[in-house]
Amino acid sequence: MAKIYYNKDADLKVLRGKQVAVIGYGIQGRAQSLNLRDSGVDVVLGLNLKDETWKRAKADKMKIMSVPEAVRSSDIVMMLIPDEVQKAVYDKDVGPNLKEGMVLDFAHGFNIHFKRIVPPRSVDVIMVAPKGPGALVRETYLAGIGVPALIAVHQDYSGKAKKCALAIAKGLKATTRGVIETTFAEETETDLFGEQVDLCGGASELIKKSFEVLVEAGYQPEIAYFEVLHELKLIIDLVQKGGIEGMWDGVSNTAEYGGRTRGPIIIDEYTKARMKAILKDIQSGKFAQEWVEEHRADMPTLTRLREQGEKEQIEVVGKQIRKMFE
């Protein structure tokens, strides 16, 4: 079982007298920098682009610098820009300005784990990854409860890397809920696996194929949409609250009997074998390489898949149905 850290295990004093540079003011950057600032941490932003997030930072009265300036004047650097652009920004503006004893923090392990970013030996490399989207990271902070987080240490030059990760987690209020220690490898590989197989990839295809089967059999698309897409959240809410057995308690006996006997026919041993193959590609770095190349080529596949997705019947019907809930 994993060890869980709470408030008593973390000390905000570790951050006293230190300046934290948050690179990026997007989904995580804004939430994390506001939380740390409100926890009494000295935060400056490193922003290169004068985009919407820059305007937002201005409006929030944050201290803004260029990325090189922010890195040069800080002790801790938090890389909170999209994973695909981190390497370029690191190579140009972050890496060259790191000094011995500094701390480099990530919210996801991708670039370190797949060695796209290789920091010097003389800095600590840590991860603090809140297990929730940015908006929730901020809302729950304001409500005094925080969201749980993962921490990891990739490189411990100072001997105090874990203490620093725990202090940042406390500054975000994650230790109020509980913080689990992981590794960059485990976080990165399980995160990619989850989003490909289960959460985003698997769930969306399950919905789409179920919808197609009903519509092809002559049922009205609106009814099919309600059944296979809209209701999924209600079931998942039950699963999240009480586990899979708790969900069975919350549905009818008919649903339980049908689900328990038919579920394993749909998701079977062959599906599991394909899941394992996908995990292999993640572990070997094959997926990471493919994604980096896709990004480098200006995302031709993703652009095509987005265009295709937009046109699908389930999207057209969905737009109409969702209006009923506005």
* Interface contacts to ligand NAD, rule CB under 6 A: 24-29, 47-49, 51, 53, 80-83, 85, 89, 107-108, 129-130, 133-134
Q: Which does 119 bind (CB under 5 to 8 A by kind): Mg ion, ligand NAD, none?
A: none
Q: Which does 191 bind (CB under 5 to 8 A by kind): ligand NAD, Mg ion, none?
A: Mg ion
295 flagged as catalytic? no
Largest CA distance in the chain: 68
Q: If DSSP codes are grouped into helix, strand and coil, which group holds residue 106? A: strand
User: Cβ 254 to ligand NAD, closest distance in Å?
Assistant: 38
Does 186 bind Mg ion (CB under 5 A)? Our answer is no
Catalytic residue among 108, 113, 230, 295: 108
User: Cβ 34 to Mg ion, closest distance in Å?
Assistant: 22
The residue sitting closest to ligand NAD, measured at its beta carbon, is: 26
Backbone angle region of 299, left / alpha / beta, with phi > 0 → left and psi within -120 to 50 → alpha:
left
User: Cβ 124 to Mg ion, closest distance in Å?
Assistant: 24
Does 191 bind Mg ion (CB under 5 A)? Our answer is yes
Taking a C-beta distance cutoff of 8 angstroms, is the pair 312, 101 a contact? Answer: no
Taking a C-beta distance cutoff of 8 angstroms, is the pair 117, 60 a contact? Answer: no
User: Cβ 137 to ligand NAD, closest distance in Å?
Assistant: 7
Taking a C-beta distance cutoff of 8 angstroms, is the pair 3, 175 a contact? Answer: no
Beta strands in the chain (DSSP E): 4-5, 19-23, 42-46, 64-65, 76-79, 103-106, 124-130, 149-155, 179-181
Residue number, 83 or 189, with CB nearest to ligand NAD: 83
Residue number, 47 or 117, with CB nearest to ligand NAD: 47
- Measured torsion, CA atoms of residues 22, 24, 28, 32, in degrees rounded to the nearest 10: 20
Q: Which residues participate in catalysis according to the annotation?
A: 108
